[in-house]
A and B are shown apart, each in its own frame.
Chain A
Amino acid sequence: MADPAQADLKRTPLTDWHLAHGAKMAPFAGFLMPIKYRGELAEHAAVRERAGLFDITHMGEIYAEGPAAEAWLDGLVTNRTAGIPVGKVIYTAMCREDGGTLDDMLIYRLAPERWLIVCNGANHAKIAAWTAKRARGTDGLRLDDASDRVALIAVQGPEAWQLVSRVTALRAHLPAVEALDFYTAVELRLGGSTWVVSRTGYTGERGYEIYVPNDDALALWRELLHVGADLGVEPIGLAARDTLRFELGYCLYGHELGEDISPLEAGIGWAVKLNKPGFVGRDALARQQAGGVPRKLVGVAVDGRAIARQGAGVYAAGRRVGAVTSGTFSPTLQRALALALVETAAAAGPLEVDVRDRRFPLAPTPYPFLAARVKGDPRASRS
């Protein structure tokens, strides 16, 4: 890249491919990442109607291994991970002592004593340091930060199973991949490589996330595009990834979640198990739960031709009661929607939002704005 500002950015095994195929690139989580290819709306529709491929190699992957890993990990995250079966995937928050959210993440049990933590790219350094510090002095626990060695490709959309089933390298393992339920994964040894195929995603569609060694990524990406040409598969940038997750009301760290936002406030209290043995942040979160969660994440529709974006002030009876955390035009629903973090007492409304010094009424609109279509037989027809 000629731009010196991009010289310090990390690249994925697919960066050259993105550049060669006309992607608009931008820095994201320290990486030079594809924001869009042919257009946000077209890419969004491709995932809802057919299938899309995402390079999400910026995500962080940290392995925790050893006999102590199970209890150690369960003491660091808000959801219950101890005791889950091999192959299960758990969505959870990781909190500070004060209940502020360090990150949201997936936890995989790949083997009885082998766990995989997948955190946001933007929080990778923080989570690597946090976990390393808390692993110190724990016998029977090894951490291995594999983020620089692992590429991650997401295949999302109603045709995702069709597409994945055509990958040559997976052919010998198809029964295991086909048997995957939503939020389960399988670790596969393919020649000299180890892949993890995970039935997870960030779009609300049927889909898979495939973790591969860097050296396998480009061939897999190309093969998916090639064998999926008749299915209408296409590459999807981070812009459409954002509108896709937004319609499902999935939290995005830095928007709905942050160190000053608890998972209870962000509406992921279902991933906080206050009755499990102690975990970092438990006491603060239990106090918050008992005393009343001060803020609440609400879904709203903007009444007017404007988009309320992150940071836009939300008002009740003229008083500021919160702010928009994410807001965009929903490509599927064709309307301006937003998620806002507001004082719990004011959440029932009526609410208004300030967009460029104009006030617009907000109509309460429960999220998820769109129902997830992630479960059931991967081969079953939608129609």
Chain B
Amino acid sequence: MVADDRKYTKSHEWVMVEGSVATVGVTEYAAHELGDVVFLDLPEVGNEVARGEAVGTIETVKAVEDLFTPISGEVVETNQAVVDSPELVNNDPLDAGWLIRVRLSDAGELNQLLSAAEYEELLED
């Protein structure tokens, strides 16, 4: 069961839009697959990021993964709490474990994201 209050990507990020700002995090599936997160490297506030770009790294016990932004725009906030307590990504990926907030430069990109139903289908495959 995936939360239906947000959109998703095939690479297991979630995107929740409020006004012109999108909050991005990783899904519960991703959090489980990644394993325990021990360090996070997030972009600087003010950076312009482009959809699909690697904007940070997620370092786990076993591996390091790039963090891709599913949307373009200006980074307006990053979650300092997860930088200080990376386990939030594993324990509460959909809420307290959010990663970055981006002011959308192209709201049309949202149409290319998956709905909750589509993401659930992806997980079942």
Chain B residues within an 8 Å CB radius of A331:
61
| B36-90, CB < 8 A from A | 36, 38-39, 41, 57, 59, 61-64, 87, 90
Instruction: Count contacts on A: residues with CB < 8 A to the other chain.
Output: 17
1/0 per position for A30-74, CB-CB distance to B under 8 A?
000000100111100000000000000000000000000000000
A239 to B60, CA, bound (A): 11
A96 contacts B by Cβ under 8 Å? no
What residues on B are CB-neighbors of A40 within 8 Å?
A: 35-36, 61-62
Q: Is there an interface contact between A328 and B61, defined as CB atoms closer than 8 Å?
A: yes
Contact of A243 with B by CB under 8 A? yes
1/0 per residue, CB under 8 A from A, across B11-50: the answer is 0000000000000000000001101101101000000000
B33 surroundings in chain A (CB, below 8 A): 24
Q: Considering the chains assembled together, what is the distance between the CA atoms of A80 and B35 in angstroms?
A: 41
Closest A residue, CB atoms, query B87: A41
Of A224-232, A271-279, A303-311, A346-354, the one with at least 4 CB within 8 A of chain B: A303-311
User: Closest B-chain residue to A329, C-beta based?
Assistant: B38
With both chains docked as a complex, state the minimum distance between the C-beta of B56 and any C-beta of chain A, in angstroms: 12
A9 CB, min distance to chain B CBs, angstroms: 19
B35-A307 in contact (CB<8A) = no
Interface of B, secondary structure class, is mixed
- What 5 pairs across the A-B complex have the smallest Cβ distances? A329-B38, A41-B36, A40-B61, A305-B39, A40-B36
CB distance from B68 to the nearest CB of A (A): 15
Question: What is the total of A-B residue contacts with beta carbons within 8 Å?
Answer: 40
- A39 and B86 alpha carbons, distance in the complex (Å): 14
1/0 per residue A296-319: CB within 8 Å of B? 000000000111010000000000
A218-259 toward B: CB 8 Å interface, digit per residue (1/0)?
A: 000000000000000000000100010000000000000000
Residue numbers in A under 8 Å from B62 (CB-CB) = 40, 239, 328
Q: Which residues of B contact A329 (CB under 8 A)?
A: 38-39, 59, 61
Q: Is the CB of A39 within 8 A of B38?
A: no
**In the complex the two chains form, is B90's CB within 8 Å of A307's CB?**
no
Which residue of B is nearest A334, CB measured?
B38
A41 touches B61 (CB 8 A): yes
B32: chain A residues within 8 A (beta carbon): 24
Say yes or no: A309-B41 contact (C-beta < 8 A), given A36-B35, A239-B35.
Answer: no
CB-nearest residue of chain B to A240: B61
CB distance from B33 to the nearest CB of A (A): 8
Q: How far is the CA of A167 from the CA of B36 in the complex (A)?
A: 33
Give min CB distance, A354 to chain B, whole Å. Answer: 14
Q: How far is the CA of A331 from the CA of B39 in the complex (A)?
A: 12
Contact at A309–B35, with CB atoms within 8 Å? Answer: no
With a cutoff of 8 Å between Cβ atoms, the chain A residues found around residue B35 in the complex are 36, 39-40, 239
Q: How far is the CA of A320 from the CA of B5 in the complex (A)?
A: 51
Chain B residues positioned under 8 Å from A41 (CB to CB): 36, 61, 87
Shortest distance from the beta carbon of A304 to any chain B beta carbon, whole Å: 9
Does the CB pair A307–B64 fall under 8 Å? yes
The smallest beta-carbon distance between A10 and chain B, in angstroms, is 22
- Bound Cα distance A328, B61 (Å): 6
B39 in contact with A39 (CB, 8 Å): no
> B64 near A239 (CB under 8 angstroms)?
no
A39 touches B64 (CB 8 A): no
Chain A positions 258 through 295: 1 when the CB is less than 8 Å from some CB of chain B, otherwise 0: 00000000000000000000000000000000000000
